[in-house]
Amino acid sequence: MAKDTANELRIVGTRPDRPDGLDKVTGRARYGADISAAGLLHGAVVRSPHAHARIVKIDASKALALSGVKAVVTRADFPTGLTGEAWDLQENTMAGERALYDGHAVAAVAATSAQLARDAAKLIEVEYEILPHVTDVDAAMAPDAPIIREGAADHSVPEGLHPNVVRYIEFGHGDLEAGFAQADIVREHQYKTEAAHQGYIEPHACMGQMGADGKGEMWVCTQGHWFIRKMCTQVLGLDASQLRVTPSEIGGGFGGKTTIFMEPLSLALSRKAGGRPVKIVMSRSEVLRATGPTASASMDVKIGMTKDGKITAGSATFRMQGGAFAGAPVDMALYCAFAAYKVPALQHVGYDVLANRPKAAAYRAPGSPMAAFAVESLVDEMCTELGLDPLEVRVKNAAQSHETSSFGPKFGVIGLNETLAATQAHPNLSVPLGPNQGRGIASGFWFNHGGDTSVSMALGEDGTVTVSIGTPDIGGSRASMAMMAAETLQIPYDNVRVNIVETGALGVNEPTHGSRATFATGKATVEAAQSMIVEMCKRAAAKWGIEPEAVEWRDGAAHPAGPNAGEYPPMTIGEIGAAMSNTGGPIAGHHESVPAGVGESFGTHVVDVEVDPETGRTTILRYLVVQDAGRAIHPAYVEGQYQGGAVQGIGWALNEEYVYDDMGRLQNPVFLDYRVPVASDLPMIDTVIVEVPNPGHPYGVRGVGETGIAPPLPAVANAVAAATGVRMRHLPITPSKLLSAIKASKNG
Amino acid sequence: MSKIHITTKVNGEEVEFLADPRDTLLDCLRDQLELTGTKEGCSTGDCGACSVTVDGTLVCSCLMLGVEAQDKQIETIEGMAEDGELHPLQRKFIEHAALQCGFCTPGILVAAKALLAKNPDPNETEVRYWLAGNLCRCTGYDKIIRAVMDAAAEMRGAA
Ligand code: FES
Ligand code: FES
């Protein structure tokens, strides 16, 4: 179904200005915190200063005595009896009997100004009984670890494990022992990564309004407003359709804005304050302490390899903590671990473990970066030991189209071979390296995703077109939807306006996550355009008095399909729009589905670093991202995804980590200490867009957002090893850690 | 606490507002003057989303009190386009796809304009160091740096 040659395309593959560009460079675009309303109240949240504590008593009387304080809510204001994920969400929104991590919400207050709300929050007295806590994943599995929640494990967990192990997963194929026996060398190491935060620059913000009738409105920065609707109404025990959610512009999400945190609190406060709207804007430290970082991981990997670089067998045992709730992406990590390889025998084992940390949220390719760090580091170590070219080893073992993947299902058409070939051909690989410099290579993988999708499209009286979609635009997706609509309708790009509409205006949409927006919303947009074309051809057929099948659509107009259809001048989309009231009424197209035909995306990164032997500081000299996009609708925004993903991965590899003290309190809840990469840390990020079209999408789109964060973790570690001879198996590679490791290797 | 009456100039226009002594300039711009183009990403001076110029000097408006704004000349993102004509930096940001979510963009544009006022011909390293106080989590900075360099070239008449 995918168009084979880019030649037939007029708009797809070009780089027009994004439709929301003007609003976003002039400050006019309205993000989560940029809203106001008559009678507005401001909310503030009281958070636990303890990692684990029983809540003995909450006394809000002093706060409520302040003039201007309108409502206080605690868990007592929420319905009881929820189970499963809904209970988890409710418990995370507002602690019940116990605070489960530093930053866990225990009460919230609404007042007439933000200052007053913060003052009032300080006056809410909470009495705690401090309980033993644990924040490290391996420590949380140890026999003497404090139990975070009895009975949280599901049936997958074998008997005899600590109650903090709440999910267990095991799968594989082939004869592992025979595989290792065929290898010339078998190596096994432990690797660790720390929790990193998505780090979107816009803190969470919402404004909720709800009356005594249970009907509500919400304005919120989110990746998915139907998720917000579903989760808020579940937590508050309301009907989904009674809450209307309008998405603001969103200042970054990376997976972290696909769930709820304080959003239900604004509704609960509003209901208690007589239906006045309540706005809650998180501070940066609230974002870091209480919203989803990703999991931290402790991973054992074992690989067997022949002297000529054939991988004969592999095993991976991953332990991940995702905070005080089930949901660390250990399953995804294991699926991704060996995805780039064809290995005769594999075994995967995973543990999802509770710890006294915030509930992990998705972060760009959840699980894949950790897995890539472990597996791609070990493959590199073995290539070095055997004197093999790491790229050739990847070519030799590369997963292939239509063959069974490492995690079970068969791949569709994949572009791993092409990606590796493009990497081998890139000039960055032949740049000579100086002293203390090293080059690292690694690959990464993401599945991509379909998900519930609903799009509608309407023809205007002048022949221009409005497209209504349900996936918020985080990185230029309005542009790509407009391009695909214009391409399909064969009209100018500027004649299409794409709006992201509220929950009342479309069927359910999953969020902009899973790299799905351009694939799924794009596919639905094309389908909606096709259905509108069918209707427009019908109108022309009726006018001409011929069968609709005898009409074809091209160049933005209906034409008789051939000489047999009769001779009529083409009827343009503008003429059809102008006449529609008299030819049957409004013309619209729509499409609802869970789009099938998702295309996986592989990428390979090459990084050159220099390590300062005096300080241990690693400088990125050169960086190359090569990734299969299927087809790039708007190449500039595809490059942007590659570059942004790579830099987030570099941050995770070199700087970023959650640091807890021995009381389980987060020590670095500000950007000064939770240090994300800044402009002066980086060079330009070179990109190559490989295009092996996905046959499951009308223009060949795969989805590009996530794969790019996986390879940097191992690529940077591999480059550091090449530069120093020291193998860092625990991220981040901070200057002090690397310096000690270099010193230790010299003394050893 | 009683509020203090402030008169100052924002984007060339005389304005007045009542500031709580604890309100930052950022709070006053956003909440009193409804100039929400200036963003808050951290309120600790670490992200640059709140960048404005005060009497020509680039500042984090989250680190300045509203009451300190008396009789100043404040420039925000809302004043950057003149008579509906985009500043070259704004145009180049769109052209180079130098924004993804766009949340860092107002602060980066204001900071970049202040750089070019000081140094019309910066090299890449100078741009990177000048913008090191402006976090962007989406783009990896590549296209931002290119857009600034290209705008500088155009403004010098070199492009
Ligand atoms: S909000 Fe002022 S520097 Fe971040
Ligand atoms: S474009 Fe999103 S933070 Fe810069």
Q: Is the CB of B42 under 6 A from ligand 1?
A: yes
Classify residue A77: in a domain, yes or no.
Answer: yes
* Amino acid of residue B60: C
Which pLDDT tens digit goes with each residue over A248-265? Answer: 999 999 999 999 999 999
SS3 B34: coil
- Tokens linked to A33: 């915190």
Chain B residue closest in CA terms to A197: B137
Q: Which of B108, B110, B116 has the alpha carbon at shortest distance from B133?
A: B108
- Closest-CA distance, A2 to chain B, in angstroms, reads 26
**Interface with A, mutate which of B86, B138, B143 (most A CBs under 10 A):** B138
Select the residue of A636, A646, A680 nearest B97 (Cβ to Cβ): A636
Candidate of B136, B141, B144 to mutate for ligand 2, largest count of ligand atoms within 8 Å of Cβ: B136
Helix (H, G, I), strand (E, B) or coil at A31: strand
- Of B137, B139, B140, B116, nearest to B127 by C-alpha is B116
Which residue, by CA, sits nearest to atom 3 of ligand 2?
Answer: B136
CA atoms within 13 A on the CB side of A468: 19
Return d(Cα A540, Cα A554) in angstroms, integer: 13
Task: Calculate how far, in angstroms, residue B134's C-alpha sits from the geometric centre of ligand 2.
Answer: 10
Residue A331 counted as domain residue: no
Q: Which residue has the tokens 């070019």?
A: B116
Q: A 283-312 residues with CB below 8 A of B? A: 283-284
Which 22-61 residues of chain B touch chain A by CB within 8 A? 22-23, 27, 30-31, 34-44, 46-47, 49
> CATH no. for residue A434?
3.30.365.10
| For residues A555-583, average pLDDT | 95
Per-residue pLDDT, B159: 53
Are residues A16 and A71 located together in one domain of the fold? no
pLDDT digits (tens, 9 = 90+) for A138-149: 999 999 999 999
- When the candidates are 1.10.150.120, 3.30.70.330, 3.40.1190.20, 2.40.30.10, the CATH number that belongs to B88-156 is 1.10.150.120
Q: Where are the beta strands (DSSP E) in A354-464?
A: 437-446, 453-459
Q: Which residue of A has its CA nearest to B32?
A: A36
Name the H helices within A501-593. 522-544, 573-579
The tokens 């299969």 sit on which residue? A628
CA–CA separation, A161 vs B72, rounded Å?
65
Residue among A96, A89, A121 at smallest CA distance from A261: A89
Angstrom distances, CA of residue B49 to CA of A42, A284, B26, B102, B132: 22, 12, 10, 10, 12
Interatomic CA distance for residues A367 and A361, integer angstroms: 11
Largest CA distance in chain A: 91
Strand A98-99 with A125-130, pairing? unpaired
Q: How far apart are CA A729 and CA A322, in angstroms?
A: 21
Distances (CA, A) of A541 to A97, A544, A588, B84: 68, 5, 17, 45
Hey, CA dihedral for A560, A562, A567, A572, is it positive or negative? positive
Say if residue A748's pLDDT is above 70: no
Say what the pLDDT of residue B113 is.
98
pLDDT digits (tens, 9 = 90+) for B94-134: 999 999 999 999 999 999 999 999 999 999 999 999 999 99
Q: Hey, are the CB atoms on A670 and B80 less than 8 Å from each other?
A: no
Count up the domains in chain A and report the number.
Answer: 3
Chain A residues touching residue B129 (CB < 8 angstroms): 679-680
User: For A558-578, what is the mean pLDDT?
Assistant: 94
A673 vs B: CB within 8 A: no
In sequence order, what are the residues at sequence separation of 6 or more whose Cβ sits closer than 8 angstroms to the Cβ of residue A163? A147, A148, A149, A150, A151, A152, A153
pLDDT at B158: 65
Which of A290, A308, A329 is the endpoint of a domain?
A: A290
The nearest CA of chain A is from the CA of B118 a distance in Å of: 19
Q: How far, in whole angstroms, is CA B150 from its chain's centroid?
A: 19
Return residues 184-203 of A near B (CB < 8 Å).
198-203
DSSP A684-705: -EEEEEE----TTSTT-----T
Distance (Å, rounded) from C-alpha A15 to C-alpha B43? 35
Query: Average pLDDT over chain A, rounded to whole?
Result: 97
Contact residues for A35 (Cβ-Cβ < 8 A; gap 6+): A207, A219, A248, A279
Say how many C-beta atoms besides its own lie within 10 A of residue A377's C-beta: 26
CATH number, domain of A267, equals 3.90.1170.50
Flag whether pLDDT at A593 surpasses 60.
yes
What integer pLDDT is reported at residue A6 of this predicted model?
Answer: 52
DSSP sequence for A448-486: -----EEEEEEE-TTS-EEEEE-S--SSSHHHHHHHHHH
The CA B141 to ligand 2 mean position distance, Å, reads 9
Residue to substitute from A122, A248, A678, A681, interface B, most B β-carbons within 10 A: A678
**Mutational test site, ligand 2, from B39, B94, B105, max ligand atoms within 8 Å of CB:** B105
| Co-location of A644 and A521 in the same domain | no
> B135: CA distance to ligand 1 center in Å?
9
Give the SS3 label for residue A260.
Answer: coil
Same-domain pairing of A220 and A276: yes
Mean pLDDT score, A363-373: 98
**Boundary-marking domain end, from A564, A593, A622:** A593
Token code pair at residue A386: 């055997």
B133 lines ligand 1 (CB under 6 A): no
Rounded to whole angstroms, what are the CA distances from A366 to A372, A384, A425, A708? 11, 29, 30, 12
One domain for residues A390 and A470 = no
How far is A255 from A566, CA to CA, in rounded Å?
54
User: pTM above the 0.90 mark?
Assistant: yes
Residues A673 and A720 in one domain: yes
Which residues numbered 94-123 in A keep a CB inside 8 Å of some CB on B? 113-115
Rounded CA separation A59/B86 (Å) = 54
**Residue where a domain stops, chosen among A561, A593, A625:** A593
Q: What's the rounded mean pLDDT across residues A701-705?
A: 96
B127, A199: Cβ pair inside 8 Å?
no
Q: Do B37 and A27 touch (CB under 8 A)?
A: yes
Instruction: Give the count of alpha carbons within 13 A of B49, CB side only.
Output: 26
Q: Are residues A663 and A714 in the same domain?
A: yes
Give the integer Cα–Cα distance in Å for A738 and A719: 13
Residues 676-705 (A) with a CB less than 8 A from some CB of B:
676-682, 684-685
Domain-embedded: residue A348: no
pLDDT of B16 above 90: yes
Radius of gyration from C-alpha coordinates of chain B: 16
Do A434 and A455 fall within a single domain?
no
Distance in angstroms (rounded) separating the CA atoms of residues A415 and A109: 53
The pLDDT, as a whole number, for residue A1 is 41
Distance, first Cα to last Cα, chain B: 54
Average pLDDT (A52-59) is: 98
A313 located within any domain: no
Q: Considering only CA atoms, which of A287, A351, A321 is closest in space to residue A135?
A: A321
Other beta carbons within 10 Å of A59:
13
A734-745 average pLDDT score: 97
Q: CB B142 to CB A684 under 8 A? A: yes
Residue A68 structural domain: 35-131+199-290
Q: Compute the 3-state secondary structure of chain B and give helix, strand, coil in percent, each to the nearest 5.
A: 40, 20, 40
Residue A366 forms part of a structural domain: no
In this structure, which residue's CA is closest to atom 4 in ligand 2? B136
The C-alpha atoms of residue A544 and residue A542 are separated, in whole angstroms, by 5
Q: At what angle do helices B142-155 and A635-654 cross, to 10 degrees?
A: 120
Residue with tokens 């000349």: B73
Judge if A544 and A662 occupy the same domain.
no
CA A207 to chain centre: 24
Do A646 and A697 lie in a common domain?
A: yes
Q: What is the pLDDT of residues A293-338, one digit of tens each?
A: 999 999 999 999 999 999 999 999 999 999 999 999 999 999 999 9
Tokens, residue A515: 């790299």
Give a yes or no: residue A690 inside a domain: yes
The token pair at A103 is 């930053």
Task: Report yes or no: B93 at the A interface, CB cutoff 8 Å.
Answer: yes
Same domain, A471 and A528: yes
How far, in Å, CA of A593 to CA of A470, rounded? 13
| Cis upstream peptide for A732 (omega within 30°) | yes
Closest CA to A731 of A720, A723, A747: A720
A550 and A432, same structural domain? no
Nearest to B110, CA basis, from B27, B68, B49: B49
Best CA proximity match to A243, nearest among A220, A272, A261, A221:
A220
CA distance A475 to chain B (A): 4
Chain A partners within 8 Å of B20 (Cβ): 113, 115
* A82 strand-pairing partners: none
Question: How do the domains of chain B map onto residue ranges?
Answer: 4-79, 88-156
Calpha distance A238→B48 (Å, rounded):
40
- Contact criterion met (CB < 8 Å) for A26 and B136: no
Q: Which of B101, B129, B142 sits opposite A474 (nearest CB)?
A: B101
CA dihedral A720, A705, A329, A369 (to 10 degrees): -10
Superfamily holding B4-79: Beta-grasp domain (3.10.20.30)
What the block records as the tokens of A492 is 């100018």
- Both A691 and A730 in one domain: the answer is yes
Closest by CA position to A592, among listed A449, A478, A456: A456
Q: Could you tell me the pLDDT band of residue A3, with boundaries at 50, 70 and 90?
A: very low
- Rounded mean pLDDT of A14-32? 98
